[in-house]
Copies of this chain bind each other. A is one copy, B any other.
Amino acid sequence: MKIFETNSTPNGRRVRMFLAEKGIDMEYVQVDIVGGENISPEFLAKNPGGRIPVLELDNGSYISETVSICRYFEELDPANTPLMGSNPEEKARIDMWQRLVEFNLMMNVGFCFRNVTGYFKDRETPVKEWGEVCGEQAMKFYDVLEHQLSQNEFIAGDSFSIADITAICAIDFARVMKLNPGEQHSNIQRWRDAVSARPSASA
């Protein structure tokens, strides 16, 4: 098994952090996304979406999508450090928070970055005004996250989960666009210090 990824990207980091929490060793193959290696015919055969990371299984098939790769390892050995829940309600709640953070923070920060900077303008049409709208939406979501973290140690409840991984990777990446939590978000800061101190945070 190996994972094709780009070390500097938030989605690459999400998978590395997930596997580090579970203590799973992995071979990582770097993909040059700025040079367009991910939209080459060879790579599109692995993942028609043209995105990293991509997991290559020993049987030769490929799994793309960050969360789906994580799900594969979670299902392979559910008792090893569960990060996606252990019963139906917990699984649904963690999935819900993972998605709320992914859509409202990670995706908005990503759209802001790509549309405001035009980072991938060789392959997509950046719309600056949309990027600015998304930046505002990301900032608004910090209030939702602050409220949740004022009542819970971690984002989806009492235990560290994939929702925390998505959130720390999104927030750390958001610095690039200066979309940072403010002083009023003291619970986000408390949570961020704790999550950043985990060994997996530097995976």
Q: A: which residues have CB within 8 A of B?
A: 48-49, 55, 57, 61, 63-65, 67-69, 71-72, 75-76, 87-89, 91-93, 95-96, 99-100, 103-104, 115, 124-125, 127, 129-130, 133, 144, 147-148
Q: Rank and list the top 6 A-B pairs by shortest CB-CB distance, nearest first.
A: A72-B92, A130-B130, A75-B88, A68-B96, A68-B95, A127-B130
Complex alpha-carbon distance, A69 and B68, angstroms: 17
The residues of B that contact A100 with a CB separation of less than 8 Å are: 48-49, 64-65
Contacts known (A48-B147, A127-B129, A133-B127); A92 close to B68, Cβ less than 8 A: yes
Whether A63 lies near B127 (C-beta < 8 A) is: no
Kindly identify which residue among B65, B93, B103, B144 contacts A63, using a CB–CB cutoff of 8 Å: B93
Sample 11 A-B pairs with CB under 8 A, ordered by A number.
A49-B103, A49-B104, A49-B144, A61-B93, A63-B92, A63-B93, A65-B95, A67-B99, A68-B92, A68-B96, A71-B91
Q: Among the interface residues A65, A87, A91, which one has the most CB atoms of the partner chain B within 10 A?
A: A65
The residues of B that contact A133 with a CB separation of less than 8 Å are: 124-125, 127
The residues of B that contact A148 with a CB separation of less than 8 Å are: 48
Give me 18 other A-B pairs in contact (C-beta within 8 A), A48-B100, A67-B99 excluded: A48-B144, A48-B147, A48-B148, A49-B144, A55-B92, A57-B89, A63-B92, A63-B93, A63-B96, A65-B99, A68-B93, A68-B96, A72-B89, A72-B91, A75-B91, A115-B130, A129-B130, A130-B130
The residues of B that contact A99 with a CB separation of less than 8 Å are: 65, 67-68
